[in-house]
Structure 1
Amino acid sequence: MGVAVRRGLVRGCVVAALGLGFAVVGGHEAAAEACPDGTARVFLSNETNTCQGRGVASYSAPGLVSRVCSVGPVKVVVDITGSRYVARHVELENGRCAQFEYKGQSGATVQVSDSD
């Protein structure tokens, strides 16, 4: 019972902080340097991330793509390959992010180009 109450309290605090407009981050994502405008920030399953400039890059195990964010006025196209449950095609612009399930993922291609 004590663990359930503690989890509920933590979740409630996070929801309240988000409701007030605070950013809630954890791990070394908070300490990592920000990526410059015109790039994509690619978070990998091995708990690393990278700033990808314009062009195309492919990712595969052990660093499968778990999240991608466009940084600034740039178009980012993400193609995830793998089982039919995780395969996706996502287009991001203007600071938007997308999160991906990496279990069942065989690889990903991230393309960064100028925004239309």
Structure 2
Amino acid sequence: MRQYKLPFRVGHHFASEVVDYGKAHDIRPSDFPYQEARQIFATTLTEMKVAGGELPMSEAEFRAALDPVAIIRHRATAGGPQPAEMARMVAEAKQSLAEQDQWIKARRQRIDGALAGLDRDFARLGAP
């Protein structure tokens, strides 16, 4: 609803009413009647005392807004499920794992060196 310059509260209330209606009538998002969405939008504007008219979305836009794949693809938030963000997070996790692996290898080398030094020292103590 952002692209239609509607206040967040109006878009949120409209979406909530669509969900409530769908649940009450056992309607899947992909089957939600566009005409009913238009009616719910008009009722939302009236209830919220907001000037406006028709639902600004075409039926095709409304259908796209209910498509879960499109929702994920167009979501633009840090940590979200969109493919670009998932790729970024996986790359970041791989980098972090590589850094941790290097840290572990360095600590193991240091421990191995210390143990070898102890072995040498004990060997000298035991030698006549």
- TM-score normalised by L of structure 1: 0.23
Q: Which has the higher strand share?
A: 1
- TM-score normalised by L of structure 2: 0.21
Higher relative contact order (CA 8 A, sep 6+): 1
Structure index of larger Rg: 2
